Structure 1
Amino acid sequence: MIRNLMAATAVAVMGSLPVLAQDWSGQVTPYVWAAGLGGDVTPMTGAPTLSLDKSISEVLEDTDGAFFLSGYARRDRLVLMGDFSWSSSSKSGTVPPGLPAEGKLKQRSLTLLAGWRAVENQQFTLDLLGGARAWSVKSSVTVAGGAMQASPGKDFVDPILAARANIALAPQWSAILYADIGGFGAGSENTSQILATVNYQVNDNLWVSAGYRQLSVDYRSGGTAVDVTMAGPLLGATWRF
């Protein structure tokens, strides 16, 4: 009887102990984004506004280099996310009255988010997040072999609110839906992003994905105005650890 009482007491004590948090899990995803470009850009005070409407093939023709990487980590219901984008492009031509000119544009964006897993079951998960997106846009214009030069650039940070859903479709198949909105006049007037992918699980650690991404920003400061949207298909590979 004493042994039974001691066993019952031990079970009661152990049952009252807090459950230890799960270990961290994470994943990294390098991806290729074939984005078209549209919008209006005023590089500086007194400069003309440039209206952009470039297809994916035209953007690729002018691209000097690009790199895209996203990451995701979770411990229990705590969620961390990040995304880094970098691209560099150049274009040669002439400006009135027929002078040779070359322009270069480099952009970087880094999005960092933290949040909470609000919904979790076998078929569906939903993460709610907040954070910031830092932008760096650098450009340079050279006319007549250096007779005229300008190198305007802007750095700014936008607060971001985001949601990410993961939906089980079938064995080894899933879909991810992501959306964010931000700016609110703190950095840009507004910025937004949507992402949708279909994912296939190759093995325990590797997934491949195909989908669509759209990223927009409307920034105005002094004589500089950038109101552009980049959108197009993407392909990625995810390694989970």
Structure 2
Amino acid sequence: MRVPMFMSVALAIFATAARADGTPQWSAQTSPIKPGPSGWHFKFTPYAWLPWINGDATVKGRDFTINQNPGQVLSSLDFAWMSYQEARRGAITLFSDVMFTKNSDSDSFARSHQFSAHVEGSVGAALSADYKQWIVEFGGMYETNRWRMGPGPGEADTTLDLLVGGRYWHQELDVDLSLDGTLDIRNLVIERGIALARSGGVDWVDPFLGARMVYQHSPTDSFVFRGDIGGFSVGSKMTWQAIATYNFYLGSHAAIDFDGYLGYRALSVNYVQGSGIDRYEFDVVQQGPVVGITGKF
């Protein structure tokens, strides 16, 4: 899996953002971090993400191609929950992101290859697939740089946070296969005249490093850019993520400020475990529009 060019550039930025002793490095154009307001400040963001899903998967040694558009994802969706939580005090931010999706009877999620590299003979036609996934992200950020865009108070700021965290994955992928004359049924389950390739529960955790840049265009709108890269063969072989959003003020109620946001998110992972007919692989990129509402208190 190739790492996009912007991730290479981001890593170069991360490497120069601090000295070897870990203290912030300030250029002539930046000012030291100002003490933040006392106490913790919180954000809660429920959101919706409708991605294109493209890549390859292997279940019980059988290879499949995954190719779904947002409409196909939505048509097979049973349930979804997506939310981002953040707590900030001064230069320190703690964050988590929880996403759960369950799709059933999707006839577009998995398509059979003609032959599998892991099992002799053809795999049979993929009739439908059931897919369940948890992605739970957690970590912390530290603000290292703050650029003042104008000389006076109230001018727009740009801030840079370095981040470190982990991403927990849980997947269950079951694919229904037709019982054609050449299908090798080893390690498959036969129910009602259909062969089932069941992954069972597959779990792993990916460490990651990244950065977030926030450009406060005005007191009521801002742009946020975030990228991370991880896996490092600790969990998956490699994973990367990129998010860009435009955030705008909606109003206040009961001492809570509300912002809306629109953006685009891409998340890639390449995970492999087992071999032969026990092989499970998930090498997929999910990317598409994201929309949400943030409550700040």
Q: Quick check: 1:151 aligned with 2:177?
A: no
Give the equivalent residue in structure 2 for 1:22: 38
What one-letter code is carried by the residue in structure 1 that aligns with 2:283? D
2:51 to 35, 48, 51: 35
Q: Quick check: 1:225 aligned with 2:281?
A: yes
Tell which deviates more after alignment, 163-172 or 96-105. 96-105
Q: Quick check: 1:113 aligned with 2:113?
A: no
Over the aligned positions, Cα root-mean-square deviation in angstroms equals 2.6
Task: Write the distance in 2 (CA, Å) between the matches of 1:155 and 1:118.
Answer: 34
In structure 1, list runs of 5 or more residues that go unmatched: 1-18
Change (3 A) 1:98 1:214: closer
Q: What SS is found at the alignment partner of 2:235? A: coil
Task: Write the distance in 1 (CA, Å) between the matches of 2:47 and 2:224.
Answer: 15
2:164 to 113, 119, 130: 130
Displacement of 1:61 after TM fit? Answer: 1.4
Give the equivalent residue in structure 1 for 2:16: none
Task: Write the distance in 2 (CA, Å) between the matches of 1:128 and 1:237.
Answer: 24
Tell which deviates more after alignment, 144-153 or 102-111. 144-153
In the alignment, is the contact (CA less than 8 A) between 2:60 and 2:197 conserved in 1? no
In the alignment, is the contact (CA less than 8 A) between 2:76 and 2:106 conserved in 1? no
Task: Write the distance in 2 (CA, Å) between the matches of 1:40 and 1:91.
Answer: 19
User: Which structure is higher in strand share?
Assistant: 1
In the alignment, is the contact (CA less than 8 A) between 1:30 and 1:238 conserved in 2? yes
Task: Write the distance in 1 (CA, Å) between the matches of 2:127 and 2:72.
Answer: 18
Change (3 A) 1:92 1:128: closer
- Which residues of 2 match residues 1-241 of structure 1 at below 5 A? 22-45=38-61, 47=62, 49-91=63-105, 102-120=128-146, 121=148, 122-141=156-175, 144-145=191-192, 148-152=195-199, 153-204=201-252, 205-222=257-274, 223-241=279-297
Change (3 A) 1:162 1:100: closer
Alpha-carbon deviations, 1:139-197, whole Å to 9, x = none? 23456537644431310000011211110123411111111110000000001111010
In structure 2, list runs of 5 or more residues that go unmatched: 1-34, 113-121, 149-155, 177-189
Change (3 A) 1:20 1:72: closer
Displacement of 1:203 after TM fit? Answer: 2.8
Tell which deviates more after alignment, 187-196 or 99-108. 99-108
Give the paired residue count: 221
Task: Write the distance in 2 (CA, Å) between the matches of 1:111 and 1:92.
Answer: 26
In the alignment, is the contact (CA less than 8 A) between 1:100 and 1:145 conserved in 2? no
Displacement of 1:236 after TM fit? Answer: 0.4
Change (3 A) 1:147 1:33: closer
Q: What SS is found at the alignment partner of 1:60? A: helix
Task: Write the distance in 2 (CA, Å) between the matches of 1:166 and 1:97.
Answer: 48
Q: What SS is found at the alignment partner of 1:188? A: coil
Tell which deviates more after alignment, 100-109 or 64-73. 100-109
Between the aligned residues of both structures, percent identity stands at 32
Give TM-score scaled by structure 1 length: 0.83
In the alignment, is the contact (CA less than 8 A) between 1:99 and 1:144 conserved in 2? no
